[in-house]
Structure 1
């Protein structure tokens, strides 16, 4: 089976692809049927900042089979550097996870959810199976020791299920580090690090009103809700990202002249 090729975008030495939600879901469902391991990653402002600071993290993204955009800031940064992108090339997991579940059900692809505090994965599974009753799905919370016996027991549970898609939601960069360290011994086909998606999907964490999320202002809603924990991530992180983008763009202009 030949996988669809997507246009690649490079921003601050980190690559992602021009892909729509429908294309992303189709790609994941197809990849889950191949006898190989596929990594589908995503980038937002925080991910690009990590990639600038952590070489192994940048390598993880650049070595991934597909990388989709999960942040308006990244779209804006790429546009500032002359890339042609539309709002349809940005997507956030809570908005499409049910469509993914329906696609998995239709194509008989199993899903394992490894994320959230105890109870969150169970709540997500209940919501997903309400709209996709024949979905083959299991889960486990993400609050376990990421090495040693406890980690091995979680991997055994995954391997007994042999999922087509393994959704890992520990937050960046812990989830990517865990996939890097454990992928060889995990019997799953598609590895999908998706951060706090389930927390939003299950209303465990407040995302903000729909009009804010649609216009890329989810970060502002979260900042107002949890200022003490998130001020550095969003205020400092966003400024640092755009400083890096503009500095990189200026350097390219100077080199051309």
Structure 2
């Protein structure tokens, strides 16, 4: 498998790659008799990594981690890394290209995400683009342990997907992957949060000129202020404060 340069922020690493690199990697990994974890980072993920050691370990031990946040891209640039906008990607923009690549390479896809009905809508849209794609799915609103969880795993294992897309939101999706990895017969584990909600139009992302400039979070904040204010109003400044504090601490140690 192709390797990529690493970027390390706040002791958490991700890789410098483009969306084409990501899709090629996922499809190729799905052909190998091995379980592969592909993670992603945004500001929220970086904050979780600072607070939860297991979450930082998840990202640092994943086979590949891509950047899905403009704030992380900006933070990396401020730390001296050479990154461009092409090194940041968000799932709704490339999920159809991923489906087409899976169809072409005969890689199956299982969607495990969203409220009841969202996966069904996504499957209809993806089959319109890739009619021969082998695809199944189930909503993400189920008990993540016990009999209901066992039933979902049985459904996944009966399908044996090349790619398992898990979208419960951070950090629940990553915790579920870790807790069930040994039991699931899938090759690539791909946690992608609310991608299907955006892709199906159940959650508004904002106009394209905003999403292309990393301002999607503003739309989300205005549409769901009570639920998301802490994530963005507190979380974004906290991330940059942590970067600034790390830089100050390093400078102090250098002078000693």
Bin the TM-score by the shorter chain.
over 0.9
Distance 2:219 2:151 in 1: 37
Name the count of aligned residue pairs. 255
Q: CA deviation at 1:255?
A: 2.3
What's the secondary structure of 2:190's corresponding residue? strand
Q: Which residue of 1 aligns with 2:67?
A: 69
Q: Does 1:112 align with 2:78?
A: no
Q: CA deviation at 1:253?
A: 2.2
Alignment counterpart, residue 29 of structure 2, candidates 21, 28, 31: 31
Moved over 6 A (4+): none
What's the secondary structure of 2:8's corresponding residue? strand
Q: Which residue of 2 aligns with 1:131?
A: 129
Q: Does 1:93 align with 2:91?
A: yes
Q: CA deviation at 1:254?
A: 2.3
Q: Which residue of 1 aligns with 2:152?
A: 154
Q: Which residue of 2 aligns with 1:80?
A: 78
Q: Which residue of 1 aligns with 2:182?
A: 184
Distance 1:125 1:136 in 2: 10
Query: Where in structure 2 are there 5+ consecutive unaligned residues?
Result: none
Q: Which residue of 1 aligns with 2:140?
A: 142
Alignment counterpart, residue 212 of structure 2, candidates 211, 214, 220: 214
Q: CA deviation at 1:228?
A: 1.0
What's the secondary structure of 1:96's corresponding residue? helix
TM-score (norm 2): 0.99
Q: CA deviation at 1:115?
A: 0.2
Q: Does 1:14 align with 2:18?
A: no
What's the secondary structure of 2:89's corresponding residue? coil
Q: Which residue of 1 aligns with 2:230?
A: 232
Distance 2:183 2:199 in 1: 29
TM-score (norm 1): 0.98
Q: CA deviation at 1:9?
A: 0.6
What's the secondary structure of 1:41's corresponding residue? strand
